[in-house]
Amino acid sequence: MPAPVLTPAEVRAAAARLPRARLAHLPTPLEELPRFAARLGGGVRVFVKRDDCTGLLLGGNKARHNEFLLGDAVADGCDLVVWGAGVQSNNCRQTAAGCAKLGLECRLYLSRGHYRTEPQGNLLLDYLVGAHVEFTDAALGPELTAFLAAKADEFRRAGRRPYYWNPPRVVPLAAVSYALCVAEIAEQLAALGLAPDALYVSSAGATGSGVALGKALLGWTCPARLICPMHWPWHIPTRTADDANAAAERMGLPHRLTVSDVDADEGYVAPGYGLPSPAGREALHLLATTEAVLTDPVYSAKALAALVADVRGGRYRPGSVLVFIHTGGVPAIFAEPEKVLPER
Ligand SMILES: Cc1ncc(COP(=O)(O)O)c(C=O)c1O
C-alpha cells in the first residue's frame, strides 16, 4: 500500500513527538519577487521563503535545525555542545546562539581552510555569544567529524555530558525541521490559491533531505532542486534519501524515498566550496538590486543561480510558481566582502 499523502497539519503532528526547543521566528514570510521575476523573463512567478529571517542571531536554516538538535541535547541531559565546521560557518554561529539561549556551554572547532581568523562575520558573532572557539587543521567532512567525536570522548571521560556533531543522530533530526518548512510553504501558497511548480534550495545535507521528505509527505510531484554548495566524498542523492528516510522514521511515518526521488545538482559548486561563481554573483546582484534581498556567495546565491539558469533555459511555462528557499548565510559577506562586491 502506498504511504498516505499528508496535510501540513499532519506533518506537524508527526514532528510533535520529538523534543524541540523553540528558537526560531516561525513561520518565516513567503514573499513574491515581481521585479526579479520580470528581469528573468518567461512570465514565471518567483517567491522567496525567507529562512534568512529565522531570527537566532541573524537567521538562516540552522535555526530550524537547532530547534530539534538542541531540543534533543536538552532532553538527553547534555551540558555541553561540541560542534565544528569552517571558520565562517553559519551552522556554528547559530548553534552557538542556540546554546547561549538555552544555557549550554558551546565548544566550536573551526577548520581553518583558506579563511582568515580575525573576528569578523560569523566568527565575530560566535565570540559575542560566548562560544569557546579553537581552530583546527582537520579538513571539513569525515576528518573533522572524527575530530569532533574524539573531542566529545575527551569531555565524556572528564565527566561531562556532551552533545556533538554525530551525523547519524543529528542529520535526520535536522531534516525533520525542513519537512516542516515545506509544510509551512504549502499553507502559505494555499492561502494565495497557489501550488508550487518547483522548489530551489542550497543543500547537500540535512536541509535537502528535509525538503525532499516534505515534498514526498505532501504528495507533491514538482521538482525540489537541491543545489549543492560542495562535493562530498559520498554519493549525495543516496545519502540524502537515507537521511530523509531516517527522518521519516523518527517522525513515525511510513514514507520512504529512493535515490530517484532526490534531485541533487552538483553542477553549481565550481570554482569550489566557499568560492564565488560568476553565475552566483550575477544572481546575487540581480536579487539585491531588484528586491533588496541579499544572498551569500557560498550557499544561497549558487542555488539562486540555478533558478535563474533554469528559467532562462525555458524549463518553465509562463505562470509557473517557483519557490526559492533562502537558507541565509549573509553574515559571512562582512568577513569577505571581496567575494560579493560588483566589478567597479
Ligand atoms: C546559508 C546556508 N545554506 C545552506 C546550507 C546547507 O545546509 P545543509 O548542510 O543542511 O545542506 C548551509 C550549511 O551550512 C548554510 O550555511
Name the residue with the closest Cα to ligand 1, atom 14. 91
DSSP state of 186: H
Using CA of residue 128, residue 131, residue 132, residue 138, what is the dihedral sign? Answer: negative
Residues 6+ apart with CB under 8 A from 253: 3, 6, 14, 217
Q: Is the Cβ–Cβ distance between 291 and 323 less than 8 Å?
A: no
Distance 328 CA to ligand 1 centre (A): 8
Query: Is residue 1 very low, low, confident or very high in pLDDT (cuts 50, 70, 90)?
Result: low
Say how many Å lie between the first and final Cα of the chain, rounded: 60
How many residues appear in the chain?
A: 344
Q: Is the pLDDT of residue 344 over 80?
A: no
- 3-state SS class at 196: coil
Provide the edge-to-edge strand list for the sheet that holds 321-325: 30-32, 45-49, 321-325, 198-202, 224-227, 263-265
Q: Is the Cβ–Cβ distance between 182 and 196 less than 8 Å?
A: no
How confident is the prediction for the chain on average, in pLDDT?
A: 97
Distance 288 CA to ligand 1 centre (A): 20
Determine the residue type at 245.
N
- In a mutational test of the pocket of ligand 1, which residue from 203, 227, 294, 326 has the highest number of ligand atoms less than 8 Å from its CB? 203
* Ligand 1 neighbour 60 (Cβ under 6 A): yes
Query: Is residue 342 very low, low, confident or very high in pLDDT (cuts 50, 70, 90)?
Result: confident
89 a catalytic residue: yes
Which bin fits 284, alpha (ψ -120 to 50), beta or left (φ > 0)?
A: alpha
How far apart (Å, rounded) are the C-alpha atoms in residues 95 and 21?
Answer: 12
Q: Domains in the chain, start-ordered, CATH in brackets?
A: 8-59+170-339 (3.40.50.1100), 61-168 (3.40.50.1100)
Which pLDDT tens digit goes with each residue over 82-141?
A: 999 999 999 999 999 999 999 999 999 999 998 999 999 999 999 999 999 999 999 999
Which pLDDT tens digit goes with each residue over 242-252?
A: 999 999 999 99
The average pLDDT across 4-31 equals: 98
Name the residue with the closest Cα to ligand 1, atom 6. 203
Query: Is residue 176 very low, low, confident or very high in pLDDT (cuts 50, 70, 90)?
Result: very high
In this prediction, residue 321 carries a pLDDT of 98
- 3-state SS class at 80: strand
- Kindly state the cell numbers that stand for 260: 530517484
- 3-state SS class at 198: strand
Q: What is the largest CA-CA distance in the chain?
A: 62
* Ligand 1 neighbour 94 (Cβ under 6 A): no
DSSP state of 170: H
Strand partners, 323: 47, 199
The average pLDDT across 221-226 equals: 98
Distance 166 CA to ligand 1 centre (A): 16
How far apart (Å, rounded) are the C-alpha atoms in residues 173 and 168?
Answer: 9
In this prediction, residue 114 carries a pLDDT of 86
Distance 204 CA to ligand 1 centre (A): 8
Helix (H) or strand (E) holding 164: strand 162-164
How far apart (Å, rounded) are the C-alpha atoms in residues 324 and 48?
Answer: 5
Name the residue with the closest Cα to ligand 1, atom 1. 329
Residues 6+ apart with CB under 8 A from 342: 281, 285
- Distance (Å) of CA 95 to CA 23, 36, 83, 256, 259: 10, 32, 8, 29, 30
Residues 6+ apart with CB under 8 A from 324: 33, 46, 47, 48, 49, 200, 201, 303, 304, 307
Q: Which of 77, 65, 59 is nearest to 21 (CA)?
A: 65
Least confident of 23-32, 57-66, 259-268, 334-343: 334-343
What atom of ligand 1 comes closest to residue 208's alpha carbon?
11
The average pLDDT across 156-166 equals: 98
